[in-house]
Amino acid sequence: GAVVSQHPSWVICKSGTSVKIECRSLDFQATTMFWYRQFPKQSLMLMATSNEGSKATYEQGVEKDKFLINHASLTLSTLTVTSAHPEDSSFYICSARVGGGKPQHFGDGTRLSIL
């Protein structure tokens, strides 16, 4: 149980394009979803927290206009990297939890490479 699916697993695109990453909770309803960014050999950095039907809460230093997050349903959240540039290349990971006081379950991540 508690499976989180992320799609795509790997995407390569040209500088200036926008990329959308999907995060789905397959067997539970997630009231809260989280988006993380991970650089090679580093820890996970929380980018934003989203609650279903509400605007996302972004961590300090994360550009909300660049990283658009939508959490339209209890099983789907999307992260759109707008006008992506090479410095946005990273491993993006989402997580989801059923509710407060419950553990986070992680997706398998999306490797984003901007050329």
Partner 1 sequence: QQQVKQSPQSLIVQKGGISIINCAYENTAFDYFPWYQQFPGKGPALLIAIRPDVSEKKEGRFTISFNKSAKQFSLHIMDSQPGDSATYFCAADNQTGANNLFFGTGTRLTVIP
Positions that interact with partner 1 (CB under 8 A):
4, 6, 32, 34, 41-44, 46, 49, 93, 95, 97, 100-109, 111
Q: Residue 9 Cβ, how far from partner 1 at the closest point, in Å?
A: 8
From CA 19, how far away is CA 110, in angstroms rounded? 11
Whichever of 39 and 83 has its CB closer to partner 1, that residue is 39
Smallest distance from partner 1 to CB 91, Å: 8
Measured from the CB atom, the residue of 75 and 110 that comes closer to partner 1 is 110
52, 73 contact by CB (below 8 A): yes
Task: For partner 1, give the closer residue by CB, 22 or 106.
Answer: 106
| Min separation Cβ 39 and partner 1, Å | 11
Q: 53: exposed, middle or buried (C-beta count within 10 Å: 0-12, 13-18, 19+)? A: exposed
Residues 6 or more apart whose CB falls under 8 angstroms from that of 69 comprise 35, 48, 50, 56, 77, 78, 79, 80
